[in-house]
Structure 1
Amino acid sequence: MMQEILQQTTWQEWLGVCFSVVQVLLARKNNSNNYLFGIAGILLSLYVMFFAKLYAEFTLNLYYLIMSIYGWLYWKFGKKQKETAISETTTQEKFITTGIVMGTFILFWYFLTQFTDSDVPVLDSLVSAFAWAGMWLMARRKIENWVLLNMSNMIAIPLLIHKGLYLYSILTAFLFIVAISGYLEWRKIIKSKNVTVAE
């Protein structure tokens, strides 16, 4: 079984997964260079997702590409030409996040059911909707990004297994664990910053 899985796995999957692992580990460590590895992994994932007929995830990866470039620049320079600090979402950002989730789900679901041969339009749309919102929050260095990304991961794991993309499903399970760790790490950073301000 394992040998069969390995034989079915393309070099694009292997390399894309490796870049993605490095990216998420750097993101957990609050390293802005995570986006550079992310961009390399995304380009390979675009190829894989297209041929797996996961069209919403293909589009999601295009969005990842744009947000990764934006995120790298925002993390590096921010609004005042210095790295943006980690923080919690404001009320306005929560409304925007909810709008992104609902809006992208409806758009993807409609597109997939009307214009593609997707056999998993609901799940594919949900994965992308939560991930779009999570990436937007990550680009703005908001701690809640990890929660949204993990909601996407929970849905993506069985979806990727269904599509035979076992290496990506293992990567996604790994990302789920790292996201929990990332949330806890970022929470410590916020707490230490608040203690410093209080002093």
Structure 2
Amino acid sequence: MEWNAVLEAVSAMGWIEALAVLLALAYVLLAAAESIWCWPAAFVSTSLYLYLCLAANLWAESGLQLFYIVMAVVGWVQWRRRGHRRRQAVPESGHPLSEGEQRPIVQWPLRWHLLIVLANTALTLLIGWLLARYTPAANPYLDSFTTVFSLVTTWMVTQKVLENWLYWIVIDAASIFLYASREFTLTPYLFGLYTLIALAGYLRWRKQYLSHPLA
């Protein structure tokens, strides 16, 4: 796709959608930087997308955006908490974390991820089958996959689970094809950028986790 087509699409975007896209990018970048301000950006962005989806009569997408709004509030509250386990002293300073520091990054056991993948795959197949049988949905199984896994992965972000970024890499890469197949102009590029940011986010969070392990 040529850049003038992209520029034309940008110029045709309403200011609400343009602001929603910018704030969505800000959310991902801030989350990768482990900044708590990612959640206000997510709250405003998803609120704007909720308005746009309702105006377009996209009821399922509206429900997903409403979920994201709730998760933005949950994420803000959770990231302000220290978590239940004290982290070890920072090697360079020798001082333990203060009570005011944010929630630490954690890892979930492999068995939890296996259960998540199995359960969400089963739910994806069920919803995909229902959409394929009873609706004119395009790419029902891929659409179901990105939606179902996005829900649980968003919850993982609120809990600062390191592996959330690995889920997002797969979800965002799948979303590139999903939106490209629907002839979206800008959104495939957006999700391509999301994929790269998710990779960078994982590497940064992993480095942070390894430098400040949980006791």
Tell me the TM-score normalised to structure 1 length. Answer: 0.82
- Judged with a 3 Å threshold, the aligned counterparts in structure 2 of structure 1 residues 100 and 38 are, in CA distance, closer, same or farther, namely farther
1:136 corresponds to which residue? Answer: 155
For 1:61, the aligned partner's letter is Q
Q: State whether structure 2 residue 201 is matched by structure 1 residue 182.
A: yes
Show the counterpart of 1:120: 139
Residue by residue, what CA displacement relative to the aligned partner does 1:13-71 show, whole Å, maximum 9, x if unpaired? 21111001111111111111211101111122234456778765444333222222111
Q: 1:108 aligns with which of 111, 127, 130?
A: 127
Partners of 1:156 and 1:50 in 2: how far apart? 21
Give the direction of change, closer, same or farther, for the CA distance of 1:57–1:172 in structure 2 (3 Å limit).
farther
The within-5 A match list for 1:17-28 is 17-28=21-32
Structure 2 residue aligned with 1:43: 47
In the alignment, structure 1 residue 88 sits paired with structure 2 residue 92: no
1:72-113 residue CA offsets vs partner (Å, 9 max, x unmatched):
111112555863210111245325522552354145325533
8 Å CA contact retained: 1:9, 1:167: no
Task: Name the CA distance, whole Å, in 1 between partners of 2:66 and 2:178.
Answer: 19
Judged with a 3 Å threshold, the aligned counterparts in structure 2 of structure 1 residues 112 and 61 are, in CA distance, closer, same or farther, namely farther
Rounded to whole Å, the distance in 2 between the matches of 1:183 and 1:131 is 16
Partner Cα separation in structure 1 for residue 174 and residue 55 of structure 2 = 20
What is the aligned residue count? 196
2:94 corresponds to: none
Q: Secondary structure at the match of 2:35?
A: coil
Larger radius of gyration: 2
Q: Aligned equivalents of 2:129 and 2:59: distance in 1? A: 12
Matches of 1:90 and 1:162, distance apart in 2: 36
- TM-superposed CA distance for 1:139, in Å, is 1.2
Deviates further, 17-26 or 52-61? 52-61
**TM-score, with structure 2 as normaliser:** 0.77
3-state secondary structure, aligned to 1:77 = coil
Listed one character per residue, the Cα deviations across residues 86-144 of structure 1 (whole Å, up to 9, x for unaligned) are 01112453255225523541453255335543222112111112212221211110111
Alpha-carbon distance in structure 2 between the residues aligned to 1:149 and 1:42? 17
Q: Note the 1:26-37 alignment, pairs <5 A.
A: 26-37=30-41
Find the counterpart in structure 2 of residue 15 from structure 1. 19
Moved more, 164-173 or 10-19: 164-173
Q: CA RMSD in A?
A: 2.8
- Structure 1: runs of 5+ lacking an equivalent: none
Aligned to 1:66: 70
**Unmatched segments (≥5 aa) in structure 2:** 85-98
CA 108–7 in structure 1, closer or farther in 2 if over 3 Å, else same: farther
Identity, % of aligned positions: 24
